[in-house]
Chains A and B, each alone.
Chain A
Amino acid sequence: MSKLILFTGLFVSLSAGALEFQSGVPMDIQKQMIQDLDFFYSVSGEAVSELHKNVFGDVSGSDYKKFFESRVSVVGAGTCGSASAVACVWPGVSSGGTHTDNMFITKNYTKLSHPQIARLMVVYHEARHTEDENENWPHIDCPTPYLDENGHDRVSIWTQTPLQGLPGCDETPIGSYGSSVVLLKNIQKYCVNCNEKVKMDAGIYGDDQLERITNAEAKKDLQRDLY
């Protein structure tokens, strides 16, 4: 009898539209991720920036849903190789076809106290990495030295190690970090059904991600489009 319950429990999983959760993903994480995505899928915007239009479409829930679900089909549980990681994709890992479409979520998704916007930023960043046709928008090595305006080492948002020489930067305005800036700054500026806190958060995290863009031209493109 207990085995039967175990088997039953093993196959219980939630589904968020086209998104499928593997049975190893704890129920609280599934629920939280569905709640987060449901919020994004309900967003409505009064305008859109050019870069956002090119990457995501309009500032609208239906376009955010299309973007995410056309890239990620299956969500599994994982550690992503770091104690502080929240999510990851492994290029080449798919749910059966040849296209990268698996995302792994760690226990940190619900364990750590991040704003909802930060959780969504991470999963959309990872969704960008599924794009095999764009070589998965790889990070580039940060310059050495990589200093902020005060002459301090810039450090990783997620691991605090100095970023210099590490693949934690972006040289394009629409890669994984750049697209996060585009997404969040558009939410901050144009979302009409986001509350004040969410818009404030989108600004905080969008501005922070901009620091990962090391190519001067790419940074200028973002600033022209979003600031």
Chain B
Amino acid sequence: MQKRKKIYSAISTSLILLGLIFVLQRQKTLVSEEVNAPIPTTVSPQLEIDDQAPSFSTAVTVIKKPASNWNQKTNLLIKLLENKNDNDPRYDSELKVLEENDKAEFRKLYHGLKPEKRNERGTIVFLLGRNIQSVNDLEFFREVITEPKCLSMTNCHISENTDDITLIYPQVMALRMLKTNASLKPEIQAILRVASTNPDPRISKLARVSVGSSNINK
């Protein structure tokens, strides 16, 4: 009986050791792979709202508001942006029609977002672009289109030798939304004329196509 126990014990110990060796070898393999392909660090998925610096595009200083101080639609928007699921149907339901106070809050949120948040900023431009009703609404689009160029995805203020179209995503979105808006034509054309002189050739080209090259210098 005692002998059998010892055998079982020896077998168990061997199995544990074999398992440990296997795990250590597997780890060694993984580590060697990691040398060739460094593992990225994780990044917080939280939406960063810049509450310190003046806005990238305007001199308006944004005070970070606690969630309870944003209205319902802005809180929903913040939640959707954090989820990073661009196809959320609520963009086309709850956030389809915006009241004046929603638009004001969305603009404030835009200016409070770090400039590197290109998708988030472009999404706000898109939502506001579906709700252009007056000349006042257009001022925001003029601001977006004339923003200083974002120079890199990691830091808009430092050139990093990158020219991803996402860098101009809010501007491209603004131009496309203006293009699809049939109302306020003269005012929109005035903004497009400004955009047609943008140093980024993709923005200027899109603006010229939008307004029609024959009208651009009129």
Min CB–CB distance B149 → chain A (angstroms): 11
Which residue numbers of B lie inside 8 Å of A, CB to CB?
23, 27, 30, 33-34, 36-43, 45, 84-89, 91-92, 116-120, 122-123, 126, 130, 152-154, 160-166, 169, 172-173, 176, 201-202, 204-205
Given A112-B154, A200-B176, decide whether A161 and B161 contact each other with a Cβ distance below 8 A: yes
Q: In the complex, A22 Cα to B29 Cα: how many Å? A: 12
Bound Cα distance A155, B40 (Å) = 27
Q: Which of B40, B123, B165 contacts A205 (CB 8 A)?
A: B165
Apart from the given pairs A114-B166, A157-B163, 13 other A-B contacts in the complex at a CB distance below 8 Å? A10-B30, A29-B42, A32-B84, A78-B37, A79-B40, A108-B153, A114-B118, A116-B119, A152-B201, A195-B92, A197-B123, A204-B169, A208-B202
B98 to chain A, nearest CB (A): 14
A28 and B85 form a contact (CB under 8 A) = no
Most buried by A among B33, B86, B120, B162: B86
The distance in angstroms between the C-alpha atoms of A161 and B154, with both chains bound, is: 17
Cβ contacts under 8 Å, B87 to chain A: 39, 116, 193-195, 197-198
Can you give 23 A-B contacts (C-beta < 8 A)?
A: A10-B27, A22-B30, A29-B42, A32-B84, A39-B87, A77-B39, A77-B40, A79-B38, A79-B40, A83-B160, A84-B164, A112-B154, A113-B119, A113-B120, A115-B122, A116-B86, A148-B201, A150-B201, A157-B164, A157-B165, A198-B86, A204-B165, A208-B202
Which chain A residues numbered 78 to 128 have a C-beta less than 8 Å away from chain B?
A: 78-79, 83-84, 104, 106-108, 110-118
CB distance from B109 to the nearest CB of A (A): 14
Cβ contact of A159, chosen from B84, B117, B122, B161, cutoff 8 A = B161
| A39 and B85 contacting across the interface, CB-CB below 8 Å | yes
- How distant is the Cα of A72 from the Cα of B138 in the complex, in angstroms? 45
Residue of A nearest to B163 (CB): A160
Q: Does A20 reach chain B (CB closer than 8 Å)?
A: no
Instruction: Spell out A's residues near B (CB within 8 Å).
Output: 7, 10, 22-24, 26-29, 32, 35, 39, 76-79, 83-84, 104, 106-108, 110-118, 148-150, 152, 155-161, 193-198, 200-201, 203-205, 208
Q: How far apart are A159's CB and chain B's nearest CB, in angstroms?
A: 6
Which of these, B30, B37, B153, B164, contacts A23 with CB under 8 Å?
B30
Nearest residue in A to B24 (C-beta to C-beta)?
A: A7
Contact A156 B176, beta carbon cutoff 8 Å: no
Q: Which of A27, A116, A194, A195 has the most CB of B within 10 A?
A: A195
- Measured CB to CB, the nearest residue on chain B to A154 is B201
Q: For B91, list chain A residues within 8 Å (CB).
A: 195-197
Q: Are B118 and A113 in contact (CB under 8 A)?
A: yes
Q: Is the CB of A28 within 8 A of B45?
A: yes
In the complex, chain A residues whose CB is within 8 Å of the CB of B41: 26, 107
